[in-house]
């Protein structure tokens, strides 16, 4: 059965629509794009499937075509830390691929997802031959650093509403996640997994943010109305937990 096969064993060639949704391909010259496209594979990840696991050697550079993934780890004291939610359009792990290291984090599917992978050797070929690709990767690394710093800050926040607000702003990052668009397809339970709160508390936070005109809860997802406020402003929220 398909569910008994690993994600790697379920890999297949991408469809033209799936290839068209890979943002960094547009940064390549035509001959570069033609060369690497034939090496890209996609896998249909089931909920709970691991895309990357701590201690495993890097083989691919991965990206999300559809669905939602979670990047996380556990610290020395056993506390679970979520670095990032990974919505459509997000490619991740470029630092690990560059250094050809083992993974120091887990990446797991929160729902049925389509994950694309570029072999590490082709990733390095692009670094050696493509100016456009190098610019894309540099922008990724710069944005990722800011994202991880923000994740540490969010993890220390005592105010649940602020935690939800900052986490939503991160998921709508247009550089890291260009495939999200105006509406993020996410359930309250999935958001609760990413933020580290109960579903009930996330629901209360979303209601508060909607009342302030910062988001709109829609069928099957969320629409951001004021991303700058979610990311930067001291929201008119309670400062106690």
Q: What pLDDT sits at residue 30?
A: 95
- pLDDT-derived band at 205 (thresholds 50, 70, 90) equals very high
User: Hey, is 22 helix, strand or coil?
Assistant: coil
pLDDT of residue 144: 83
> Does 82 lie in the same domain as 13?
yes
Domain termination residue (choose one: 109, 135, 153): 153
Per residue in 98-123, pLDDT tens?
A: 999 999 999 999 999 999 999 999 99
Question: For tokens 């495993």, what's the residue?
Answer: 56
Quote the domain boundaries for residue 148: 2-153
Tell which of 120, 153, 186 closes a domain.
153
| C-alpha torsion sign, points 9, 12, 17, 18 | positive
Instruction: Answer yes or no: is 239 within a domain.
Output: no
For the chain, the domain total comes to 2
Asked whether residue 225 falls in the same domain as residue 177, the answer is yes
238: in domain: no
CATH of the domain at 205: 1.10.10.10
Q: Tens digits of per-residue pLDDT, 68-102?
A: 999 988 766 666 777 788 999 999 999 999 999 99
CB count in 10 Å sphere of residue 33:
18
Cα 169 to Cα 46: distance, rounded to the nearest angstrom: 26
Same domain, 129 and 40: yes
**113 and 144 part of one domain:** yes
In a domain, 41, yes or no: yes
> Tokens standing for 207?
């209601």
pLDDT averaged over every residue in the chain: 87
- Residue matched to tokens 């082709």: 122
Per-residue b/e over 145-181, b at no fewer than 16 CB within 10 Å? eebeebbeebbebebbbbbbbbbbbbbbbebbbbbbe
Q: Is residue 237 part of a domain?
A: no
Same domain assignment for residues 123 and 37: yes
Percent of the chain scoring above 70 in pLDDT: 89
* pLDDT bucket at 241, cuts 50 / 70 / 90: very low
Is residue 230 within 8 A of residue 166, CB to CB? The reply is yes
The answer to whether residues 184 and 210 belong to one domain is yes
- Tell whether 225 is covered by a domain: yes
- The CATH number that applies at residue 113 is 2.60.120.10
């Amino acid at each position: 059965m398909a569910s008994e096969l690993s994600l790697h064993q379920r890999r297949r060639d991408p469809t033209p629509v799936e290839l068209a949704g890979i943002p960094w391909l547009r940064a390549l010259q035509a001959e570069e794009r033609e060369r690497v496209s034939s090496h890209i594979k996609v896998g249909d990840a089931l909920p709970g499937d691991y895309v990357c696991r701590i201690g495993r050697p890097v083989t691919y550079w991965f990206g999300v075509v559809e669905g939602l993934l979670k990047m996380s780890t556990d610290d020395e004291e056993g506390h679970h830390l979520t670095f990032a939610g990974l919505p459509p359009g997000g490619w991740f792990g470029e630092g690990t691929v560059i250094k050809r290291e083992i993974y120091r984090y887990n990446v797991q599917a929160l729902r049925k997802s389509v994950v694309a992978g570029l072999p590490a050797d082709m990733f390095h070929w692009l670094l050696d031959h493509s100016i456009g690709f190098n610019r894309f990767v540099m922008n990724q690394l710069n944005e990722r650093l800011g994202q991880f710093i923000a994740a540490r800050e969010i993890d220390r926040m005592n105010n649940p509403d602020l935690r939800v607000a900052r986490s939503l702003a991160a998921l709508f990052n247009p550089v890291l996640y260009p495939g999200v668009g105006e509406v993020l397809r996410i359930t309250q339970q999935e958001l609760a997994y990413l933020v580290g709160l109960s579903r009930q508390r996330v629901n209360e936070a979303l209601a508060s943010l909607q009342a302030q005109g910062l988001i709109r809860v829609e069928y099957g997802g969320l629409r951001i109305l004021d991303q700058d406020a979610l990311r930067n402003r001291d929201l008119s929220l309670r400062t106690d937990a």
